[in-house]
Amino acid sequence: MTNQKTTEKKMQNILVFQQNNSGESKVKGIRGRENGYLHLEIFSIDEALPVVLDDSSEYLPEHIQADIVVDYLKHPDLSHDLARLCEKNNIPVVGSGKKYRGRNLFTPPT
């Protein structure tokens, strides 16, 4: 009897935050690579925002459940607060082109 290790793939939950369809072309690319092990959810903010947001709780969810968050938000206050929320929940964030760094925040070059 051989001892074969079976590799079970876990469903990966990706949550994309976008503002005014700012990540739509990337989302199409991700959707084209779905293989049954990827669940993609889009959180869109499509309204006009003030220049400064003192409180982003009106725009961001209170709780986030995802394996990874992708940030295509344009408003820096929203991106900042999203990164803090994800850090609090130990969820890695990919924010392409962002200028800040954090423990679970990855900012690849664009």
Is 0.85 topped by the overall pTM? no
Left (φ > 0), alpha (ψ -120 to 50) or beta: where does 21 sit? left
Nearest CA-CA partner of 40 in 9, 17, 7: 17
CA angle 18, 29, 67 (to 5 degrees): 60
pLDDT digit string, tens, across residues 42-100: 999 999 999 999 999 999 999 999 999 999 999 989 998 999 899 899 999 998 776 66
Domains in the chain, please, with CATH? 12-44+59-106 (3.40.50.20)
Residue 84, both tokens: 């803090």
Q: Contact 13/39 with Cβ under 8 angstroms?
A: yes
